[in-house]
């Protein structure tokens, strides 16, 4: 069964080729949009990346071209119109699990980097400027760390925080007993915002969590807090975040995701620049570090994602569903 994969990164190409070798995979580095959907004609299986666009129109084009399975190489699926997929008779599967350590470790990488001003320090050193002016950070030990969302990734983030010797606060619809065993205290969101020195987001993007960190939430945070988002860009109101930073608030911000990252992240814009003024402004702040949705991008996690994708394809061919199936086979 022929497979067409969109948005394939060069580092994952050999892994995908090996895992899907039996299915004649065609791997593209372009993203799935209405313009590129016709490339999938004749391919029963399309594998999508997190920044592909699978709205109702794109799904209709895929279905008309003979596609029957959408195999998303990601946990999130907010880029897929599941109702439209069901109406078109498409099966949709995702990767419900991969290494939570990858994302949690990257979240702490961002927090530590902005706290200790590492980007500014490295840039100075490249110019042989070894002054310490403006590089003073703070001890993580003794800080209060707030974790918004204490599932698998939030729990891993909390375990690292506990190792630093921090006070742990959590917010979730249901407490995680493993986090409570670390000494985490669950509080209301407003209290968590007000008390956290480091605030890290680990909730899915849903209607209820869209712009969870909005202008009001940012105003409740400590003026010298560190905000980290390695989950989904839509959790943070980026315009309000720019206003907050312009007002001189927040000591650091680490972002691995951005609400309008599609068609920007995973691409080379070094020659052309970007037209997104909000993202450009965020990147310009010295206390802000933006990475291109790479928190998941470790050999362990990518290997697990590809293995799960291959299993999703195999199960579909055999007429089975599994725990990764979002829209079952009709």
> 3-class SS at 312?
helix
Contact 79/290 with Cβ under 8 angstroms?
A: no
Query: Is 43 a catalytic site residue?
Result: no
pLDDT tens readout for residues 259-278: 999 889 999 999 999 999 99
**Same domain for 64 and 23:** yes
Residue 262: the pLDDT is: 86
Query: What is the percentage of the chain residues whose pLDDT exceeds 70?
Result: 99
Q: Which of the following is catalytic: 293, 314, 318, 320? A: 293
C-alpha to C-alpha distance for 146 and 144, rounded to whole angstroms: 7
Residue 293 has pLDDT above 70, yes or no: yes
Residue 39's φ and ψ, nearest 5 degrees, are -65, -20
List the CATH number of the domain containing 255: 3.40.50.720
Regarding whether 315 and 258 lie in a shared domain, the answer is no
pLDDT tens, residue by residue, 127-160: 999 999 999 999 999 999 999 999 999 999 999 9
65-120 pLDDT tens trace: 999 999 999 998 989 999 999 999 999 999 999 999 999 999 999 999 999 999 99
Q: Which of 12, 155, 259, 261 is catalytic?
A: 261
Check whether residue 303 and residue 275 sit in a common domain.
no
Q: Residue 261 catalytic?
A: yes
Question: What are the angstrom distances between the C-alpha of 275 and each of 25, 254, 319?
Answer: 34, 21, 45
Query: Kindly report the CA angle at 329 between 323 and 330, in degrees rounded to 5?
Result: 145
Is residue 137 located within the same domain as residue 247? yes
Structure token digits, residue 141: 């030990």
Cα separation, 36 vs 279, in Å, equals 25
Q: Are residues 205 and 83 in the same domain?
A: no
Burial 44-65 (b: 16+ CB within 10 A, else e): bbbbbbbbbbbeeebbbbbbeb
As a whole-number percent, the residues of the chain with pLDDT over 90 amount to 96
List the catalytic residue out of 73, 117, 232, 259: 232
Query: What interhelical angle do 152-164 and 100-115 show, nearest 10?
Result: 40
pLDDT at 329 (0 to 100)? 58
Going by C-alpha positions, the residue among 104, 113, 111, 99 that lies closest to residue 149 is 104
- Are residues 180 and 285 located together in one domain of the fold? yes
Shared domain check, 11 and 74: yes
Active site residue 246: no
Q: Tokens 């940012």 sit at which residue?
A: 218
How much is the pTM?
0.92
For residues 80 and 110, membership in a common domain is answered with no
Q: Clarify whether residues 14 and 104 are in a common domain.
A: no
- Can you give the residue range of the structural domain that contains 213? 100-290
Number of structural domains the chain divides into: 2
One domain for residues 116 and 239 = yes
Per-residue pLDDT of 165-223, as tens digits, reads 999 999 999 999 999 999 999 999 999 999 999 999 999 999 999 999 999 999 999 99
Question: Please, are residues 106 and 201 in contact by the beta-carbon 8 Å criterion?
Answer: no
């Amino acid at each position: 069964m022929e497979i067409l994969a969109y948005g394939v990164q060069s580092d994952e190409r050999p892994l995908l080729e090996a895992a899907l070798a039996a299915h004649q995979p065609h791997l593209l580095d372009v993203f799935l949009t209405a313009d590129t959907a016709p490339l999938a004609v004749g391919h029963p299986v399309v594998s999508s990346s997190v920044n592909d666009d699978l709205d109702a129109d794109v799904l209709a084009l895929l279905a008309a071209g003979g596609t029957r399975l959408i195999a998303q190489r990601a946990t999130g699926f907010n880029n897929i119109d599941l109702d439209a997929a069901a109406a078109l008779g498409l099966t949709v599967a995702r990767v419900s699990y991969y290494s939570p350590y990858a994302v949690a470790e990257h979240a702490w990488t961002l927090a530590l980097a902005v706290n200790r001003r590492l980007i500014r320090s490295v840039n100075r050193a490249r110019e042989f400027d070894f002054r310490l002016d403006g590089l003073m950070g703070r001890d993580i030990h003794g800080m209060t760390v707030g974790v918004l969302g204490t599932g698998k990734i939030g729990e891993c983030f909390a375990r690292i925080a506990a190792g630093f010797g921090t006070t742990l606060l959590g917010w979730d619809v249901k407490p995680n007993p493993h986090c409570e065993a670390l000494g985490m205290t669950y509080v209301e969101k407003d209290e968590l915002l007000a008390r956290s020195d480091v605030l890290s987001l680990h909730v899915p993007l849903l209607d209820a969590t869209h712009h969870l960190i909005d202008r009001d939430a940012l105003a409740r945070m400590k003026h010298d807090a560190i905000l980290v988002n390695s989950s989904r860009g839509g959790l943070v109101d980026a315009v309000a975040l720019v206003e907050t930073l312009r007002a001189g608030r927040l000591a650091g911000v680490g972002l691995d995701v951005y609400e309008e990252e599609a068609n920007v992240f995973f691409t080379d814009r070094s020659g052309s620049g970007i037209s997104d003024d909000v993202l450009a402004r965020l990147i310009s702040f010295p206390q802000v570090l933006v990475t291109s949705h790479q928190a998941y991008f470790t050999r362990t996690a990518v290997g697990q994602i590809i293995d799960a994708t291959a299993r999703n394809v195999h199960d579909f061919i055999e007429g089975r569903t599994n725990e990764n199936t979002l829209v079952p086979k009709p």
